[in-house]
Each structure stands twice: as C-alpha cells, then as structure tokens.
Amino acid sequence: MTRLARLHRDARFCPILDVVAQVRQLQARGVELVDLSVGTPNFLPAPHVYAAAREALAADQGQYGSSRGTAALVSAYLGYLATQGLRLHEDRHVVAGLGAKHLLHAVFAAISEAGDEVVVPTPCWPTYFDIVEQAGGTVVPVAGSVDNGYKIGPEALARALGPRTKAVLLNNPSNPTGATYDREELRELAAVLRGHGAWIISDDVYSRFIEPDLDFCHLLQVAPDLVDRVVKIDSVSKLYGMPGWRVGMTAAPVSLAEAVVRLNSNSVSSLPDVTAAAAAAALDGDQSFSHEMVQRYRHRRELAHRELSRSPRLRCPLPRGAFYLFPDVSACFGLRAPGGGIEGDADPVVVRDDLHLAQLLLERARVAVVPGSFFGEPRGLRLTCSGDTDIVAEGARRIRAFVDALR
C-alpha cells in the first residue's frame, strides 16, 4: 500500500506559518490588520552585502560548491566568533547550511537514535519539537515560569537529565520569550551539564539582541572545557535582515561537523555562491547597520511592554533579549469578550484558552499574535516587536484595550 511514513503523515505544518497564512488571507480580502505574529526583521541588508552578491553573480562559473561552505564564508564566520570572544574553533569545525533550521535538522539527524531524549527549556520555538521527533527523539520540556522571566534554574535542569538524554537545547536569548541567561546563570547551568555526557546545542540566532548593561556571554566563555560537546548554531537572518537568503552557520566538534558536511553532500550539496558571498560580507563587514537595528528593536519592545503593563490582566516580564514579548494571559480565560469583529456583529463569547483568545484578537481587535500553546506554554501569547514603531505600538494598544474590555 502506498502511504507516507508515520513521522511525515503526522508532521504538522509550522504553526506560526499557519497564523501568517491566515493573516495574508484576511489582508487579501482588504481587512486592515496589525501583524505582530511573525519574527521577521523589518530592515534589509546593508549596501556592502548586496555589492558582494552582485560581484559573486558576475563571477559565477555555474559549478557546485563546497558542502562545508566557501572558504570565504568559513573564514568570515570564524572572524565573527572571534569578535564574540570565541577562538576555540578552526575551519574543520565549521559548516554552512540553508539557514539555522536546516542545520538543526542535520545536527539532530547526525546525533539522534530512536528513544533518545532532548531536554528543552520551554516556552520554546515550536519547530524544536518537530525537528527532534523527525530525528526519532523525544523532547523533555523544562518549564520556565513567568515569575522567573521564563528562565530555568540548575535544579530544574538537573532533574530533567537522565540516562536517555542525548542532548540539551539552549536558546539564549529565547524565542518566544526573550529570556536571556547572564554570565552567572550560564555558569550555574554549565556546572550541571559537566556532570552529564549529553550534547549541548546552543541556538544563538538572537545573540546580538541583548540589553547593553547585561553581563551577557556565550556558554563556551564560562565553560570552554565543554567545547567537545557544544554545537553552536547561528544565522544571518535576524542579525542582518537576511531571512530569505537562507544561510546558517554551525561551529561543532569535528566529528559532528564532518557528519553534517556528509549530510549536506547527500542533500543540499552546497550553498549557492551568491548567498555565501553575501553572508560572508555581512559577517565580516561593517556591523553598524545591525547594531543600529538592535537599538530600535529594544525601543519598540519597551514601548509595547509599557502599554501591556497598564492592564491588570496581563503579566509580562520585560525580557533582556530578542524582540518578542510573551505575556501571561491566563487571567483572561473564562471572561466574556464583547461582540463585533471582521465578520460583522458577533455575540459575546467566553474566552476559552490562549488559542481562542488569539483568534478573538485577530477577528475582533484585528491584531495578529501567536498562541502560547504553540511554544509549549498555553497561558501565554507571543508578540513580535520587530515591525515599525507605530505598528508595534498600535498592536499593543489594541491588545490592552481588548483584554481590559473583557467582563
């Protein structure tokens, strides 16, 4: 009988992109919406990035490239790591991929076997669940509470580790909460990780989006002795306004790096030279345009946070990183929402849960957010603060007005 494998029969479409699709359908009908759903930078790469791409295009020979990444891209990434105080890697540790998501798939394909467990602090990016499951593993969530800014402590991490733990996946700063571990907090987690032989996957795509006064560093700076187990994942998407260029980078122990190179050779083959050249120019060139956007994002996030904090029904930690807000909205559950909305006057309804509240916000307040259930925390909602300042401010105002009108 012709049928799909179980993993792909049951695999879900990325839930965030489902929200985006619904927003696009409404906008195509002429519905005016404030979209705070997708975490896409609202700036484009600097001119020197485009110049490098044009130069590579002009020199194109139409050949396959390296499954590791071009020499220029590998060198640029090592230089980028050095600016972060990380000088623990050589060319043989580095591999390029079609975005961080592709590299995470490759890494888990290389390390996972049936029955393996992967410890993940939650709330977390929804695709972690799917990537781990498609590699044959199981996610062991470790919940961070709103009272602690959605961060976990060393005791919770230690309780989650067990004989079947193959990896621990840390996202610092975090999507969706912006939770950011400082130097001392990383030192405490590292003390736990030393006692277990698991791989440590460090998803660092938001590492530039941090508060300037935070004592921030990478795990490897407080625990360089773990370098033989740490897999660092980076991307040019958020840092440089390049999500559509699809370039991710990893620095990993040599055995794993070589496994990812082999996987690339049998799947994507290599990055196109044009995108590799653009990414190398972004990593190795003037960083001022990226740093300027970080300042703007912080202002927008703080603006939205002030608005949400005016509502007694929203508990929202002010994160120290990334460009998201993740308010706890559980005080809204069981309350009655006023009528009205996109489809005309509707009867009042009782808010059931985060999924229902997100839908009501879309239909009646005309603001798009992502339900917290997608991230493993059904008491929250995720708001993206990467859009224009007036859009972010208006979206936060609409959310506060809607929840305050609940009875």
**Model pLDDT for residues 213-244, shown as the tens digit of each residue:** 999 999 999 999 999 999 999 999 999 999 99
Dihedral over Cα of 255, 257, 208, 383: its sign:
negative
Please report the pLDDT score of residue 17 as a whole number: 81
Percent of the chain at pLDDT above 70?
98
Alpha-carbon gap, residue 245 to 103, rounded angstroms: 15
Query: Has residue 1 been placed in a domain?
Result: no
Average pLDDT over residues 39-50: 92
Return mean pLDDT, the chain. 94
Residues 329 and 186 in one domain: no
Of the residues 265, 284, 303, the one at which a domain ends = 284
> Kindly report the CA angle at 180 between 179 and 186, in degrees rounded to 5?
130
Strand extents, DSSP E, 159-262: 165-171, 199-203, 230-235, 248-251
Least confident of 52-66, 76-90, 198-212, 327-341: 327-341
Residues 93 and 194 in one domain: yes
Tens of pLDDT, residue by residue over 79-131, are 999 999 999 999 999 999 999 999 999 999 999 999 999 999 999 999 999 99
Please report the pLDDT score of residue 403 as a whole number: 97
Dihedral over Cα of 28, 31, 32, 33: its sign:
negative
Residues 298 and 273 in one domain: no
Residue 338: pLDDT band by 50, 70, 90 thresholds? confident
Concatenate the DSSP letters of all residues of 240-283 into one string: HT-GGG--EEEE--HHHHHHHHHHHHTTT----HHHHHHHHHHH
Residue 347 above 80 pLDDT?
no
Residue 345: pLDDT band by 50, 70, 90 thresholds? low
Of the residues 261, 284, 307, the one at which a domain ends = 284
Of the residues 254, 284, 314, the one at which a domain ends = 284
Domain assignment of residue 342, given as a range: 6-44+289-404
